[in-house]
A and B are shown apart, each in its own frame.
Chain A
């Protein structure tokens, strides 16, 4: 391929511009993606920061007010499936780490249910309460959690 030098300049400028757009957008839009355990470990430095937290809805903590569209629940760590031979850990009711999540003004996702895995987008406030802008559930193609053979 024979491209004259001035085309390299043109192409180079375009590539630089794209690089700049990416770099600039990274600076302004990136947010931490953490597990509940990680949030607990770094709680002090995360205050007020945009976060995405992956966790499991703790059974028995869900409070849904359909009139104000306020959803409150607690997230606990997702048990590590790869780690042990135990296929499914029993309900994590006794897990020590948990955060309260308050989501206001958004409908409850259909797949949201106690014991399901969720991704909470929001900010960590004082007292370990995550004010969520969005609660996302995994839309799994399958219901029963299946272990890799």
Chain B
């Protein structure tokens, strides 16, 4: 079986090379047969990688410890679901999984473009195959998933218990999906540069891919945060660790890209900027893999370090230089006749939003690589911790929130004072009122007051937009309110879905601010029957129950949670687990989540006699909002991605012409758009 996996990977590599040659030859010599043949090669490559993945999955499920990978990341006692997720639990497997996703996405892109984009698609597919070649070279020669062990162990080393968690089962695939799908718009951008077909055809053809990628990057980050919150037991969800930053930076740049392409679609501006952003987003996905796999930057999550770092760095440098050279080569053709006319315009708001997002990405990058830079320059490693990131990104986040409110309401080109007053009076009033109420309620930190006011202001702008659109439909079409609202969203899904995403973002932002500023913490050693308080809760420790199985032993504390009036609210059971093979303790946090605050109990210590236990308890306000905001973002993205007949027609129009002269897309009907 392992031979089959190796063989499949070798054939996949050959097919990838062939598909590049055939695509480029076919496109240059105008030989469609070769382009078709290249497409078939891509599909066959995907089939080969699929075979390799299946072989590894079968080996994991059958606990075939003759494979080094299976012995290292699985065991006979591992639950089946984690045997499946062990595919991406280790380095070789995760690279294989990555390659598989890339092969699938490339195949889908090949299918979508079998009749579309005849000029740029062959080159885009060649670029994707080029990326696949890099990963296949790694899998064939550097970090081989099907290497055998000389002596077959009786039992595997098992998957790290911290990773045996459902969030960890879905976090890596989400993140990888987000990472890998960013290659599709990147490849089309590169193909536009190679062919010189620099209209916005490449952007429109890959818009869904970009949103898809952004969506999974969002999910990946949220799942990772949720996992950290539930599993790591420190009461927080984000620590600005290099590995987290590596996932966050592409998200920021992708967010910037999704906004700035709207300006190109609408105004034919910012071509260089958009091409640079997608190049940057793709580069950051490679960079993320590089820093997590190379060990260059020490992280709390140190993955298996290996000789993979230099390869990724070389590939990253080659890609960056080639792409930059293409941009410079085409720079004359990328000039745009249109200009920015006024600061008070949507273009300007989007441009500043882009600067903020890229600025945050740069600050995160700077803080992440600074230890390496300082060591190279000054000979001593200097690190910056979470305070650095919070201090820089806190104010930038406020500016970004402000622009989230401005951008959608302000007119393209220029805005009149009258228009400003009409659009922003209600939102500003809502924002100011929120600030006053918050201050009256006793909030004093300027940051929190500003953040909550701005958040309310943005909510106000979205409210105004929905009301306006709804009223317009009521008057023009004569629909009742509810139906008008539904049709408004259905007929302008891209626009109103975007607003829902904004609301989700703001809700998440409120959660982040609340949980960062108002977290309370209590540590207490107690005997059975003792009680202590945190916030308005009283916690009473009722005792320990122990359990012993062949797989693990556990000690679970029973904690009664009481309200001030002494009534019991709930029972909570934080626990300590001891995995036996290999020996490894793990903490099981107990969380009681409500929209106002989360009660989070960690069983931090049990003394040897078992008489005294120590709890660490966190009361974190509003953290619930972060996850709720995430759900809203999911909902908004689904609305945005919903198939839209008019948009398809518009894409067809654009693609059928050689020039992209049409600028009629997106927000129609609703007033305030123009």
What residues of chain B lie closer than 8 Å to A44, measured between beta carbons?
A: none
What residues of chain B lie closer than 8 Å to A52, measured between beta carbons?
A: 383, 385
Q: How close is A103's CB to chain B, nearest CB, in angstroms? A: 12
What residues of chain A lie closer than 8 Å to B385, measured between beta carbons?
A: 29, 31, 52, 121
Q: Are B335 and A18 in contact (CB under 8 A)?
A: no
Q: Does B671 contact A (CB under 8 A)?
A: no
Q: Does A85 contact B (CB under 8 A)?
A: no
User: Which secondary structure dominates where chain B touches chain A?
Assistant: mixed
Q: Are A66 and B382 in contact (CB under 8 A)?
A: no
Given contacts A11-B355, A144-B157, contact A110 B586 (CB under 8 A): yes
What residues of chain A lie closer than 8 Å to B89, measured between beta carbons?
A: 141
Q: Does B587 contact A (CB under 8 A)?
A: yes
Residues in B369-403 with C-beta less than 8 Å from chain A: 370-371, 380-385, 387-388, 391-392, 395-396
What residues of chain B lie closer than 8 Å to A94, measured between beta carbons?
A: none
Give complex CA distance A101, B442 in Å: 41
Give complex CA distance A32, B584 in Å: 31
Q: Are A21 and B391 in contact (CB under 8 A)?
A: yes
Q: Which residue of B lies closest to A24 (CB)?
A: B391
Q: How close is B35's CB to chain A, nearest CB, in angstroms? A: 33
What residues of chain A lie closer than 8 Å to B80, measured between beta carbons?
A: none
Residue among A4, A67, A139 making CB contact with B160, cutoff 8 Å = A139
Over the window 124-144 of chain A, the binary record of Cβ atoms lying under 8 Å from chain B Cβ atoms (1 yes, 0 no) is 000000000000111111111
What residues of chain A lie closer than 8 Å to B380, measured between beta carbons?
A: 32, 34, 38
Given contacts A67-B607, A140-B303, A148-B307, contact A1 B335 (CB under 8 A): yes
Residue among B362, B381, B586, B614 making CB contact with A32, cutoff 8 Å = B381
What residues of chain A lie closer than 8 Å to B447, measured between beta carbons?
A: none
Over the window 25-60 of chain A, the binary record of Cβ atoms lying under 8 Å from chain B Cβ atoms (1 yes, 0 no) is 110111111100010000000000000101000000
Over the window 265-305 of chain B, the binary record of Cβ atoms lying under 8 Å from chain A Cβ atoms (1 yes, 0 no) is 00001111100000000000000000000000010111111
What residues of chain B lie closer than 8 Å to A65, measured between beta carbons?
A: 605, 607
What residues of chain A lie closer than 8 Å to B272, measured between beta carbons?
A: 1
What residues of chain A lie closer than 8 Å to B8, measured between beta carbons?
A: none
Residue among A2, A21, A107 making CB contact with B605, cutoff 8 Å = A107
Q: Are A1 and B387 in contact (CB under 8 A)?
A: no
Q: How many A-B residue pairs have CB under 8 A?
A: 177
User: Which secondary structure dominates where chain A touches chain B?
Assistant: mixed
Q: Does A119 contact B (CB under 8 A)?
A: yes
Given contacts A29-B384, A140-B304, contact A18 B363 (CB under 8 A): yes
* Size bin of chain A's contact surface: 35 or more
Q: Are B355 and A140 in contact (CB under 8 A)?
A: no
Residue among A25, A32, A38, A64 making CB contact with B388, cutoff 8 Å = A25
What residues of chain B lie closer than 8 Å to A10, measured between beta carbons?
A: 343, 348, 352
Q: How close is B305's CB to chain A, nearest CB, in angstroms? A: 8
Give complex CA distance A137, B162 in Å: 12
Q: Are B338 and A110 in contact (CB under 8 A)?
A: no
Q: How close is A27's CB to chain B, nearest CB, in angstroms? A: 10
What residues of chain B lie closer than 8 Å to A67, measured between beta carbons?
A: 525, 605, 607, 612, 614
Q: Does A88 contact B (CB under 8 A)?
A: no
Q: Which residue of B lies closest to A52 (CB)?
A: B383
Residue among B270, B355, B383, B612 making CB contact with A1, cutoff 8 Å = B270
Q: Does A69 contact B (CB under 8 A)?
A: yes
Give complex CA distance A61, B139 in Å: 42
Q: Which residue of A lies closest to B144 (CB)?
A: A149
Residues in B296-344 with C-beta less than 8 Å from chain A: 298, 300-307, 334-340, 343
What residues of chain A lie closer than 8 Å to B233, measured between beta carbons?
A: 107, 110
Residue among A3, A25, A69, A108 making CB contact with B384, cutoff 8 Å = A25
Q: Which residue of B lies closest to A42 (CB)?
A: B380
What residues of chain B lie closer than 8 Å to A139, measured between beta carbons?
A: 160, 162, 300-302
Q: Are B525 and A138 in contact (CB under 8 A)?
A: no
Residue among A2, A30, A33, A54 making CB contact with B338, cutoff 8 Å = A2
Q: Does B32 contact A (CB under 8 A)?
A: no
Q: Does A97 contact B (CB under 8 A)?
A: no
Residues in A68-118 with C-beta less than 8 Å from chain B: 68-69, 105, 107-108, 110-111, 117
Q: Are A2 and B352 in contact (CB under 8 A)?
A: no
Of A4, A25, A64, most B-chain CB atoms within 10 Å? A25
Q: How close is A72's CB to chain B, nearest CB, in angstroms? A: 14
Q: Does B585 contact A (CB under 8 A)?
A: yes
Known contacts A18-B396, A66-B525, A107-B616, then 15 further A-B pairs from the complex at CB < 8 Å, ordered by chain A residue: A2-B335, A3-B340, A7-B340, A21-B392, A25-B392, A26-B370, A32-B382, A33-B298, A33-B371, A54-B298, A110-B584, A138-B300, A141-B303, A146-B306, A148-B305
Q: 11 A-B pairs, CB-CB below 8 angstroms?
A: A11-B352, A15-B359, A18-B362, A18-B396, A54-B298, A66-B605, A69-B523, A107-B605, A138-B301, A146-B304, A149-B307
Nearest 6 A/B pairs, CB to CB: A66-B605, A107-B604, A33-B381, A18-B359, A25-B391, A29-B388
